[in-house]
Structure 1
Amino acid sequence: MRVSVLASGSTGNTSLIETPQHKVLMDAGLSGKKIASLLADVEVDIKEIDMVFLSHDHSDHSKGLGVLMRRYPQIAAFSNSGTWSYLTESQKIGQIPVEQINVIEPGQTKTFGDLDVTAFATSHDAAEPQYYVFTSGGKRMAFLTDTGYVSSKVKDVISDADAYMMEFNYDDMMLRNGPYSWNLKQRILSDVGHLSNEDAAMALLDVVSSKTKRIYMAHRSQHNNTAKLAYDAAKQILINGDAPLPSDVQLIMTDADKPTNLEQI
């Protein structure tokens, strides 16, 4: 299994998971043209994508999905029934080809040849948010952003993974002292908002293991965080703390419009 976080941030999110049998997108929160360009940067043709797994309906995760489904009929798109109901009724991403809609509910694991995908519910102010663990060739990668907190149930699902993409959305003091309205600050700080740097690192402390080789630090706010603050928080809590991580673990910063290397997990 090879993975690249193609783009991550408030302007749009999408990642690539590649196995010998599949090329899969996790979210499609940019234009179809931009997603194709990001894939080309890691030498993958968008016509090779055969599945997309959608986390929730917010536009920075979903806005390109309708275009991809209409333009590339080979794509099977997956999310839960609550998210599909909202997207089809609102037509937020346009007319969606019914034959390409597939359902995976929280708590379900589905197998697609050499790839197993497990969905789990998260806490965010969307219709029915969920994220996924992708397993192939004995390796597991867990994706988790856009959640106000990480429950013990979620920790059970994502524990002991070989790699994580985890939300490091904001620095607490930058958010509190920043330009956002108090209502928006309260939303971000709430149980249906986002994870702070410290929240993310503390959640990881409970789930990482000696198997964990990569932690992709994702969904960083442009206004309420910096790469250095996120990295320093993760290092302080994980690397210098009691996390049972191998000495060669990598903390990888993701970018809003530049993909990480397509690397084997």
Structure 2
Amino acid sequence: MKFSVLASGSTGNSTYIESDSVRVLVDAGLSGKQIEQRLEQINVDPSTLSAIFVTHEHIDHVRGLGVLARRYQIPIYMNESTWRHLPSSVGDIPESLQNVLETGAALELSDLRVESFAISHDAAEPVAFHIQHGEDLLSIVTDLGYVNQRIIDRVSGSHTIVWESNHDVEMLRMGTYPWNVKRRILGDTGHLSNEDAGVALTEILKGMGENIYLAHLSRDNNLSELAHLTVKNILEETGMQVGRDVHLWPTYDDRPTPLRAVKDK
């Protein structure tokens, strides 16, 4: 199984995953044109997509959903609550392409198994996804205010984890956001800070050389280097060696990550 984080951040989120016979997206938070361009950069024809799975209805996760579905007749999967709360800007999606994948359910799509699980965020019924192809395991977990034991247990054992490291707490507190927005981000239905991301990873990782892609970084309240350093320091305080026991990788809001196998180091 191979994947590429096409985009990650407050301006748009989308991840591409392929197996031997299936090609899917998790979220489509860029415009349809931008997603097409990002796919072209990793040599993927958007007309070959088999499905799009949606984590929640916020526009930075569904901006291009309607365009792609209509243009390429791509089946869409999300839970019932997310379907009901899609923004009107997504436009009409043909009923034949609408599929319900309830929270906690799994779908076998040819040789790919996609399972959703609940997370805490200020959306109708947000989820993360655990994706399996044979023995390859990939988890995509962003937009969550806190990490509970159920999430830790579900993600632990994955070879690659796309994991939220949204903000530096001090940058956020000292920044220009209105206080109500700061309080939302810092709350239990907001986003994980760099520190919280690192602490949670100490409970998730087994030190088997997992790949961690630090994702959904705030443009205004974080820096890629700061997120990497904070998480690295927290992991190494527990005796885990970054670069050997675990590998940290960046994601970008303006370009895709290289297409690579989930077990690559």
User: TM-score scaled by structure 2?
Assistant: 0.95
**Which residue number corresponds to residue 27 of structure 2?**
27
Whether the aligned pair in 1 keeps the contact of 2:208 and 2:245 (CA below 8 Å) is: no
Answering whether residue 104 of structure 2 is matched by residue 98 of structure 1, we say no
- After superposition, the Cα gap between the structure-2 partners of 1:242 and 1:108, relative to the gap in structure 1 and judged at 3 Å, is farther
Q: Deviations over 1:157-205 (max 9, x none)?
A: 1111101000110000000000101010000000000000011111111
Which residue identity lines up with residue 154 of structure 1 in the other structure?
A: I
**Superposition map of 1:1-265 within 5 A:** 1-73=1-73, 75-87=74-86, 90-243=87-240, 247=244, 249-265=246-262
Whether the aligned pair in 2 keeps the contact of 1:210 and 1:245 (CA below 8 Å) is: no
**1:206 is paired with a residue of what secondary structure?**
helix
Distance 1:204 1:103 in 2: 31
Structure 1 position 92, deviation (Å): 3.7
Whether the aligned pair in 1 keeps the contact of 2:209 and 2:244 (CA below 8 Å) is: no
Whether the aligned pair in 2 keeps the contact of 1:160 and 1:212 (CA below 8 Å) is: no
Deviates more, 1:144-153 or 1:233-242: 233-242
- After superposition, the Cα gap between the structure-2 partners of 1:112 and 1:155, relative to the gap in structure 1 and judged at 3 Å, is same
How big is the alpha-carbon RMSD for the aligned residues of Structure 1 and Structure 2? 1.4
Whether the aligned pair in 2 keeps the contact of 1:208 and 1:243 (CA below 8 Å) is: no
Distance 2:65 2:245 in 1: 36
Distance 1:169 1:240 in 2: 21
Structure 1 position 213, deviation (Å): 2.6
Structure 1 position 14, deviation (Å): 0.5
**2:255 is paired with a residue of what secondary structure?**
coil
Whether the aligned pair in 1 keeps the contact of 2:8 and 2:14 (CA below 8 Å) is: yes
**1:99 is paired with a residue of what secondary structure?**
helix
Whether the aligned pair in 2 keeps the contact of 1:158 and 1:207 (CA below 8 Å) is: yes
Distance 1:160 1:54 in 2: 23
Q: Deviations over 1:15-36 (max 9, x none)?
A: 1101011111110001110000
Distance 1:183 1:211 in 2: 41
> How many residue pairs end up in the alignment?
262
- After superposition, the Cα gap between the structure-2 partners of 1:159 and 1:244, relative to the gap in structure 1 and judged at 3 Å, is farther
Whether the aligned pair in 1 keeps the contact of 2:116 and 2:128 (CA below 8 Å) is: yes
Whether the aligned pair in 1 keeps the contact of 2:209 and 2:245 (CA below 8 Å) is: no
Identity %: 44
Unaligned stretches of 5+ in structure 2? none
Q: Deviations over 1:124-169 (max 9, x none)?
A: 1111111100100201011111010011111111111101000110
Distance 1:96 1:239 in 2: 47
**2:183 is paired with a residue of what secondary structure?**
helix
**1:119 is paired with a residue of what secondary structure?**
strand
Distance 2:88 2:178 in 1: 29
Unaligned stretches of 5+ in structure 1? none
Whether the aligned pair in 2 keeps the contact of 1:170 and 1:221 (CA below 8 Å) is: yes
Whether the aligned pair in 2 keeps the contact of 1:209 and 1:243 (CA below 8 Å) is: no
Whether the aligned pair in 2 keeps the contact of 1:161 and 1:209 (CA below 8 Å) is: no
**1:180 is paired with a residue of what secondary structure?**
coil
Which residue identity lines up with residue 166 of structure 2 in the other structure?
A: N
Structure 1 position 76, deviation (Å): 1.3
Structure 1 position 86, deviation (Å): 1.5
Which residue identity lines up with residue 26 of structure 2 in the other structure?
A: M
Distance 1:172 1:36 in 2: 34
User: TM-score scaled by structure 1?
Assistant: 0.95
Which residue identity lines up with residue 30 of structure 2 in the other structure?
A: L
Distance 1:264 1:143 in 2: 15
Which residue identity lines up with residue 102 of structure 2 in the other structure?
A: E
Q: Deviations over 1:74-119 (max 9, x none)?
A: x1111111001122xx534111111111111121122112111110
